[in-house]
Structures are given as C-alpha cells and as structure tokens.
Chain A
Amino acid sequence: MTQPARHAAMLSISNSGPNTMAGEKQQSTQHMHTQSQPSQGLRVPSNRKTIYDRHLNRSRSAELSRASFAFLFAEMVTYAQRRVTGIQDLERRLNEQGYPLGLRLLDLLYYRTMSSSTSSSLSSSSTSASPPNRPLRILPLLHLIHGPLWRLLFNRPADALEHSVSPETPNEYMITDNDPLVNTYISVPKEMSMLNCAAFVAGIIEGVCDGCGFEAKVTAHNQPTEMWPGRTIFLLRFGESVMEREKVLERAGVK
C-alpha cells in the first residue's frame, strides 16, 4: 500500500469531508488518538463561519482567475527548485505536492457523483466505507481520472487514454493532455528540457489511484507535436498487487 509518510504529510491544514477512503488507517487511528486526549479544541467565530457550516458544493462552480493559479504554481515550482538536486528530484517534489490533492479530490468526486446520482445526499454521505461507485477495476478508475477528475480540475476531459501495447508492460497506461493547464505560461529552459512541471498533476493522479486502493507510480513526459508543443503523457504504472487482484476480479466477473 502507500507509504505512511505521504499520508502523514497531508494530515494538517485542510479537511474535505469524512474520511471514507480505503487505506486511511494511519489517519483514522491518529485522529482517534487526538480525540482521546484532553484538548481544548479549536476556537470558532461567534458567527460560526467554519467549514462545517458551509455546503461542500458551495465552491463547485465557483471560479477564480487563471493568473492566480499560475502565480501560485510558479511560486511552488520556484520554492521546490531551491531544495532539490536535479530535474528528477524536482519532479519528485512536485509530484509530492500534488499527491495530497489527489487524495482529497477523490473524496470530493465521490461525494459529488453520489449526491448527483442519488436523490438523497444525506443517506449517501453516511453510508459505509465503500461507496457504490468506487472503482474496483483499473478501467473504471482510469475513466474516473480521464473524465470527472479532469473536468473538476481543468473543466474538460483529458485528450486520450491508452493501454501499453507492449506485452511486457501490461501494467502501464497512458493519459494524454495536449495542453496541460499547469504548463500554459511556463517555458522550461533548454538545459532542463526533460523537465515537465505537470509532475504536479501526475502527483494528483497518483493520489487518486492510491486513495482508491490502486497502488501506482505516475510520471509526466513531454511528447510535443507541431500543433501541441506542450503535449504531455501521464504514464501510470500499477503495482504487482493491483495486477494480481485485477486477474482475480476478472475471473470473478467483477467489472
């Protein structure tokens, strides 16, 4: 499963709803631990302007300026650059920054697809740890990423979804984005031409996969064409355990 350190990294700061994800034991035990300690708890404003008093879909269709995202992302890249030894290290760090986003977006995606598909959102949010639409097989997971995840983040689906044609790498899948939003304003210097800052998005994808219980490594690669100079392939490599489970589920007829 996932490395505990990564989950630990996302403990602080934000909260995007109840933790219903698989693979979150680390977090829930820690959570219970803090609960059992005598704590004075967080102060809240007298008008109760807290996250619990706001609807989770409040910002669903809200918009902010693309420039704000670009400046924040650029500063994230600049900050990461100060602490790394090379391009791979930089990509790893950007990946790590995206990862917690993936874990959280997954909750948000579940919540929203559920509340829009069932009439009662109340009952669905209190159901057990495995919501009905959680992907069990690789393909539905990839469709979740290619479609709903991409739409939530970038307001459009990804441009392509492919399976590796090589018989040696059946665990490899590729998601293509012709013009990744995160790279719109970025020109990578010639001496760093291998770098793709969409490693951040690769981290988001990895977070979604891990959160769903599909251990995977995801990387971003430059595949420019004349028409799409920023074309990026996200390579997903699923772990062995995932591939084995896939076979079992296939025999059992699970889709």
Chain B
Amino acid sequence: MAVFSLIIINKAGGLVYQREFQPGLRKLSTNDYLVLAGTFHGVHAITRSITPKLPLAAIPNPPITPTTATTPSPNIASPSSTSTPTPSSSSASAGGYTYPNPGVPATGLESLETDKFRLTCFQTLTGTKFLLFTEPTMANIDVVMKKIYELYADFVMKNPFYQLEMPVRCEAFDRNLQGWLRGRA
C-alpha cells in the first residue's frame, strides 16, 4: 500500500515540509504546494467553524475561563489573519452556543478522497497539520500518521538548528522517515 507524499503545514498555514515517497512521482510546482497548503488550511478552518453547535443551556458544566467573559470554545489555534475569516470566534463571543461535548474539540476536515488517492489530515493539539497522500484503499493510516508525528517530535523538535514554524530542513528527519516508510512497504 503506497504512501505517495507528505506535507506539513505550520500553525499559520504556511508550507514547511513536502516530500514524495514514490520514486519518479510527478511533482507539483513549489507554488502549487504553497497554494495547496494555504487553501487546505483555510478550508480546514471553515469546516471546523461550521460544526453544528447546541444551545449553551444544554451543557451542564462548561469549563472555566478565568479572565475572559466568553464561552471557552475549545478552538485549536486559530488561523492567521492571512487566511479565511473565522466565524467560530464570533459565535463564541455571542455566548449562546457550544459544541455537543465541550471537552472534545471540533476538528476540521480530516480526509478527502478521490478514486485515485486519499488525503488524510492530522492536526496536532498545537495546530500543526500533517497531510498524507495515499492510495484510497490504504488501511491503518493512523498508525503511519502517529509514527510520522513521533519522528517529527524527535528529529525536528529536538534539533537545535531547527527554528519553530520555519521550513523543515533536517537531514535526519528525511532519512528516518524514508527508512521507516521503506521498511514498512
């Protein structure tokens, strides 16, 4: 089962990493990837914000917010000003609605599928997004995703030469990622 490629998008919607894992795979242009990252980031925010909400009265014990008067909508980091508007914040400040289970945050778009491929998005609680392009029938994508996140935590986050939110240029990350995916195939 093939993993085609991986994209990592930072909190602000910027593309910080892109790799293909199939030899000879047709590459998109850098610009296409940047647009893809930005667009996906925006659509992701929209899908999260259109999550149906219940009236606040229906929820017995909303979590505490000490210094703000608004209802704590458990938002993942909001997109930057460069991307789409965020209706979620306006509805939160109205104070009347909340998600069905306030402890469980609303996610955005998690997967997107065509006949030929599937795009799976995993957003970490810190707001970083991992986008994995695979064959549509591939199983256990969550296992692959989890491993990628661990490799990222090891070889990107523990590298003193990596600056947060910047493009990922870590040779050991590339090497270990390639190695693990190859070993799996």
Which A residues fall within an 8 A CB radius of B? 67, 70-71, 73-75, 77-78, 81, 184-189, 192, 197, 229
Q: Judging by beta carbons under 8 Å apart, are B161 and A188 in contact? A: yes
Give the Cβ gap from A179 to chain B, nearest Cβ, in Å.
11
Cβ A229 vs Cβ B175 within 8 A: yes
Q: In chain B between 148 and 166, which residues have their CB closer than 8 angstroms to a CB of chain A?
A: 154-155, 158-162
- With both beta carbons as reference points, the residue of chain A lying nearest to B171 in the complex is identified as A187
Q: Is there contact, CB below 8 Å, between B158 and A78?
A: no
CA distance in complex: A186, B155 (Å): 7
Interface residues on B, range: 10 to 19
- Give B170's nearest chain A residue, CB to CB: A187
- B169 & A81 in contact (Cβ 8 Å cutoff): no
Partner of A78, one of B154, B160, B172: B160
The answer, among A71, A81, A185, for a CB contact under 8 Å with B172, is A185
Beta-carbon nearest neighbor of A70 in chain B:
B158
Interface pair A186/B160, CB less than 8 Å apart:
yes
Nearest-CB residue, chain A, relative to B154: A185
Mask for B38-57, Cβ within 8 A of A = 1, else 0?
00000000000000000000
Q: Which 8 A-B pairs have the closest CB atoms?
A: A185-B158, A74-B160, A77-B160, A187-B170, A70-B158, A187-B171, A187-B172, A78-B160
Contacting pair B175 A74 (CB below 8 A): no
Question: CA A70 – CA B172 in complex, angstroms?
Answer: 14
Residues of A within 8 A of B159 (CB): 74, 185-187
Query: In the bound complex, how far is the Cα of B6 from the Cα of A216, in angstroms?
Result: 48
Q: Say yes or no: B158 contacts A187, CB within 8 Å.
A: no
B173 on the A face (CB < 8 A): yes
Are A186 and B175 neighbours in the complex by a CB distance under 8 Å? no
Alpha-carbon gap, A186 to B158, bound state (A): 7
Known contacts A67-B154, A74-B159, A185-B155; 20 further A-B pairs (Cβ under 8 A)? A70-B154, A71-B158, A74-B158, A74-B160, A75-B160, A77-B160, A81-B160, A184-B172, A185-B172, A186-B159, A186-B161, A187-B155, A187-B159, A187-B161, A187-B162, A187-B169, A187-B171, A187-B173, A192-B161, A197-B160
16 A-B pairs within 8 Å (CB atoms) are namely: A70-B154, A73-B160, A74-B158, A74-B160, A75-B160, A77-B160, A78-B160, A81-B160, A185-B172, A186-B158, A186-B160, A186-B172, A187-B162, A187-B171, A189-B169, A197-B160
Q: State A152–B128 Cα separation when bound (angstroms).
A: 38
Residues of A contacting B154 in the complex (Cβ-Cβ under 8 angstroms): 67, 70, 185
Nearest-Cβ distance from residue B182 to partner chain A, whole angstroms:
15
Closest to A69 in B: B158
Residues of chain A within 8 A (CB-CB) of B160 are 73-75, 77-78, 81, 186, 197
Distance A49 CA – B64 CA, assembled complex (angstroms):
39
CA distance A189 to B162 in the complex (A): 9
Alpha-carbon distance A67/B162, docked complex (angstroms): 16
Interface residues of B in 131-185 (CB under 8 A from A): 154-155, 158-162, 169-173, 175
Contacts of A77 on B, CB cut-off 8 Å? 160-161
A211-B173 Cα distance, complex, nearest whole Å: 38
In Å, the complex CA distance between A185 and B162 comes to 11
Residues of the B chain whose Cβ atoms lie less than 8 Å from the Cβ of A192: 161
A138 to chain B, nearest CB (A): 34
